[in-house]
Amino acid sequence: MGKKLKKRCLVRLVSFGIFLFAVLTTFSITGNVMANKYRTNLEYSYFKNLSELSGYISSIEVSLSKGVYANTKTQQHGLASKLMVQSAGAKSALSQLPNSSAENLTDINKFISQVGDFSNYLSNKIDKGEEISDSELDKLKSLGEYAKNVNTEVKDIMASIDSQSSNVSLLSGNHNDSFLTSTSSVAVSFKDINNQFTNYPTLIYDGPFSDHIMNMKPKFLEGKPDISKEEAAKKVASFLESDVSKVKYIAECEGNMPTYKFKVNDTAEVSVTKSGGYINCILKNKEVSELKLSYNDAKNIAKEFMSKNGIRNTKESYYIIDNGICTINYAYTKENVIYYKDLIKIGVALDTGEVAYFDSTGFMMNHTTREIPKEIISLEEAKESVSKRLKIINDNLAMIPTLGLNEVLCYSFECEGENKEKVLVYINAKTGLEEQIYVVISSDNGILVM
């Protein structure tokens, strides 16, 4: 009886072992099939995006070459529009490449962005009846040469991937190894392309990717002497009406606007400009439990805060309430002209009324003495450019930012639409053309422009 039992157990163990082996083998085969399918799809997607990138850059190269010789505004405008579309497509294809290549795509990304941005700038210029200068045509030519070089390199990368995939597959019998080998070499190849931009021309134009934007220095701080971190700590204590012993130094931050960073009472972080010693930013770790104050209360508190700290000649523009903090934007004003780039932001906690946020970056970066153009159209002439469907409620002069962070003098018209909506219209004070139109969105959480 005992021998039969042992034999029966042995048979069961062997059977179970065979079953387990079969199950594991099935899972292993299925897993490999799924992994191979995933990698095959990934490789296809990768190669497809490289192919699309090559196609878009090739089209950019052709359009840039044509742009140099186009001599009519219709043709120039059409080519500029094509370049904007082609640039957007190239950026999309580039963004789909593996993350391992990301650090090597910076300059290529900038190049593609500038092509689209510069084309948009030229298109707007043509719309205004202006001529494309010889200097701008030279820039188109230079961009075209870089497009040609980049496209050649991308095609070489594709050929290299195709070659490596074939050779490694034949030698190792492992298609996955070929993919890993080829994609790892792509990052190096893109790094080589990036290195070709060492002599890339500086592009100065009115657009967000213009080189002058990347290299902007704070205009308000020009010529201001540097202060020590000890002097900066005293500035913080005075600004926040705190004891200097409660101001703890954290670090010195570099960049376009070097600052000293401090912590105050373990609840607020404050940065002070190294040049001139101005308070740049205050950020308090504040949780608002209950909304007790209104926007008008916050506005009065912010106004008192600015007055106490010597901040004058400002006008509130719009505000937003988020997490119990009412943040109001204030623009600098002088002689009835509003300067929307010279911006200061103040956030007031709607439970206690304390100032929980302060940011003067816009003012520091942009504030300087401007010359207001004397030869401008009259207010009545500017009104003629406003749609007859709008009822003008108020008007004033304003310097408004352009896409490239330059600015243009405009007549600003606050209007009411046919459905009682509030609309802002900005008419160029020199040309009489519409520069911007915004619809004002009002809600319980603030006033924004769209």
Give domain status of residue 321, yes or no.
yes
Q: Give me the residue label for tokens 């059977």.
A: 15
DSSP 317-362: EEEEEETTEEEEEEEEEETTEEEEEEEEEEEEETTT--EEEEE-HH
Q: Which residue has the higher pLDDT, 102 or 419?
A: 419
Number of domains observed in the structure of the chain: 3
In a shared domain, residues 22 and 97 = yes
Label residue 286 by pLDDT band (50, 70, 90): confident
Out of 366, 387, 416, pick the residue that ends a domain.
366
Q: Which residue has the higher pLDDT, 107 or 92?
A: 92
86 with 63: CB under 8 angstroms?
Answer: yes
In a shared domain, residues 223 and 205 = no
Give domain status of residue 276, yes or no.
yes
In a shared domain, residues 203 and 86 = yes
Out of 153, 186, 214, pick the residue that ends a domain.
214
Residue 314, beta-bridge partner list: 332
As a whole number, the mean pLDDT across the chain is 78
Helix pair angle (2-69, 134-172), 10° resolution:
150
In a shared domain, residues 38 and 105 = yes
Label residue 201 by pLDDT band (50, 70, 90): low
In a shared domain, residues 439 and 347 = no
Out of 366, 387, 415, pick the residue that ends a domain.
366
Q: How distant is the alpha carbon of residue 189 from its chain centre? A: 27
Give domain status of residue 19, yes or no.
yes
Residue 272, beta-bridge partner list: 260, 279
In a shared domain, residues 340 and 424 = no
Residue 207 per-residue DSSP state: S
pLDDT at 162 over 70: no
Label residue 99 by pLDDT band (50, 70, 90): very low
Give the tokens for residue 328: 């109001």
Q: Containing domain of residue 397, as a range? A: 379-449
Tens of pLDDT, residue by residue over 210-248, are 444 456 789 999 999 999 999 999 999 999 988 999 999
Give domain status of residue 342, yes or no.
yes
In a shared domain, residues 133 and 35 = yes
Instruction: Enter the pTM of the model.
Output: 0.60
Question: What CATH number is attached to the domain comprising 386?
Answer: 3.10.450
CA-closest candidate to residue 422, choices 408, 406, 410, 440: 440
Which pLDDT score, from 0 to 100, does residue 213 have? 47
Tell me the average pLDDT across 46-52: 76
Give domain status of residue 4, yes or no.
no
Q: Which uninterrupted H or E stretch holds 249?
A: strand 247-253
List b or e across 95-109, with b for residues whose CB sees 16 or more CB atoms inside 10 angstroms: eebeeebeebbebbb
Which pLDDT score, from 0 to 100, does residue 194 have? 56
In a shared domain, residues 335 and 399 = no
Span of 84-88, 121-125, 157-161, 295-299 with lowest mean pLDDT:
157-161
In a shared domain, residues 244 and 302 = yes
Tell me the average pLDDT across 369-375: 89
pLDDT at 16 over 80: no
In a shared domain, residues 241 and 360 = yes
Give domain status of residue 3, yes or no.
no
In a shared domain, residues 30 and 147 = yes
How far apart are alpha carbons 124 and 311 in whole angstroms? 37
Give domain status of residue 429, yes or no.
yes
Percentage of the chain modeled with pLDDT above 90: 36
448 with 318: CB under 8 angstroms?
Answer: yes
Q: Which residue has the higher pLDDT, 83 or 194?
A: 83
339 with 332: CB under 8 angstroms?
Answer: yes
Which pLDDT score, from 0 to 100, does residue 118 have? 79
Highest mean pLDDT among 37-41, 138-142, 253-257, 332-336: 332-336
Label residue 332 by pLDDT band (50, 70, 90): very high
Which pLDDT score, from 0 to 100, does residue 359 have? 92
In a shared domain, residues 360 and 414 = no
How far apart are alpha carbons 58 and 144 in whole angstroms? 10
Strand duo 259-264 + 247-253: pairing: antiparallel
Q: For residue 401, give the 3-state DSSP assignment.
A: strand
Percentage of the chain modeled with pLDDT above 70: 74
For 81: left if phi > 0, alpha if psi spans -120 to 50, otherwise beta; the answer is alpha
Sign of CA dihedral 296, 299, 301, 303: negative
Give domain status of residue 1, yes or no.
no
Label residue 285 by pLDDT band (50, 70, 90): confident
